[in-house]
Amino acid sequence: MNFTERLRQSQENHNSLVCVGLDPDPLKLPRHLQGREDGVLRFCRGIIEATQEVACSYKLNLAFFEAMGDNGTRTLRDVLRSIPKDTITIADGKRGDIGNSSSMYARSIMTDLQFDSATVHPYMGLDSVEPFAKDPSRGVFVLALTSNPGAKDLQYLKVSGKPLYEHVVRKVKKWNTAGNYGLVVGATRPAQLKQIRALVPEMPLLIPGIGAQGGDVRKAVHYGCDNTGALALLNASRSILFASAGEDYADAARTAAHALRDEINRYRQERFG
């Protein structure tokens, strides 16, 4: 099974398009976990246990694990171990370097840590990206149009009358001969999301920007899904992780994740039947 099929399977198994983003900011942990050496690990385990029924995917933001210092890689590995096997994991590290360096990143992320997929920058082109895509069952999500304000600095620049991000989409479509490439498209750009989905009707789209960043969930579903109502991965991080700041954080995360899954499924139902 290639990566796209694996993602589809996980979405069917969970009846869900929810990707839970694990961005464990140490300053936002519930008080009873703050300052403990295993605080981040316990927090993430609590979140995973509470959300695994409705999470078809977990996206681990490597920035937050790196910020833990010497203990970061071990924690990352331990968090990964507690994610159910049938659920797609994403290393959100936004890497990208010349071939031999990207190979080292891929070795760490895909071989050593055994992530199912990773996010990468497109700026350095094919040889910076393909070390992550060697195994068709593992995926690579290339940044196309991001959810942050700085997206306007480069991504909208017009190249031959079309925005740069569209050129990225077309390149990645060409590279995707084995069914294991995807794209990152922010939910904060609904019109462009719709246009990108039309260009790549069968590619996974990782869609951050709902929740704390304010993207419209309904539009993200209507415009981001393929014609079967799948292959859009709607990521929520802060709105699930920090739904409560107290000891009940896991219960609150469960409630928030289930509510998001149900909301998304209503929009799938109304659009794709």
Cβ-based nearer residue to a second copy, 51 or 146: 146
- Chain positions 106 to 165 lying near a second copy, rule: CB under 8 A, are 107-108, 112, 121-129, 143, 146-155, 157-160, 164
Least distance in angstroms from the C-beta of 148 to a second copy: 4
Cβ-based nearer residue to a second copy, 47 or 184: 184
User: Which one of the listed residues 59, 85, 94, 134 is annotated catalytic?
Assistant: 94
Instruction: Rule CB under 8 A: say whether 85 interacts with a second copy.
Output: no
| Residue listed under structure tokens 């995917």 | 57
Stretch that binds a second copy, among 36-44, 50-58, 61-69, 222-230 (CB under 8 A): 61-69
- Chain positions 173 to 202 lying near a second copy, rule: CB under 8 A, are none
Please give the size of the binding site for a second copy, defined by CB under 8 A. 57
CA distance 68 to 200: 37
Full 3-state SS string of the chain: CCHHHHHHHHHHHHCCCEEEEECCCHHHCCHHHCCCCCHHHHHHHHHHHHHCCCCCEEEEEHHHHHCCHHHHHHHHHHHHHCCCCCCEEEEEEEECCCHHHHHHHHHHHHHHCCCCEEEECCCCCHHHHHHHHCCCCCEEEEEEECCCCCHHHHCCCEECCEEHHHHHHHHHHHHCCCCCEEEEECCCCHHHHHHHHHHCCCCCEEECCEHHHCECHHHHHHHHCCCCCCCEEEEECHHHHCCCCCCCHHHHHHHHHHHHHHHHHHHHHHHHC
Least distance in angstroms from the C-beta of 177 to a second copy: 16
Cα 167 from chain centroid (whole Å): 21
Contact of 28 with 242, CB cutoff 8 Å: yes
Q: What are phi and psi of 148, to 5 degrees?
A: -90, 165
Least distance in angstroms from the C-beta of 212 to a second copy: 9
Cβ-based nearer residue to a second copy, 72 or 84: 72
From candidates 42, 45, 134, 167, binder to a second copy by CB under 8 A: 167
Stretch that binds a second copy, among 133-141, 167-175, 222-230, 249-257 (CB under 8 A): 167-175
Cβ-based nearer residue to a second copy, 92 or 116: 92
Q: Which x/- pattern, by CB under 8 A, does the window 20-59 give for a second copy?
A: ---x-x----------------------------------
Annotation says 94 is catalytic: yes
| Residue listed under structure tokens 């794709």 | 272
Cβ-based nearer residue to a second copy, 177 or 227: 177
Residues that bind a second copy (CB under 8 A): 23, 25, 61, 63-64, 66-67, 69-70, 72-74, 77, 92, 94-102, 104-105, 107-108, 112, 121-129, 143, 146-155, 157-160, 164, 167-168, 171, 208
Annotated catalytic residues are 94
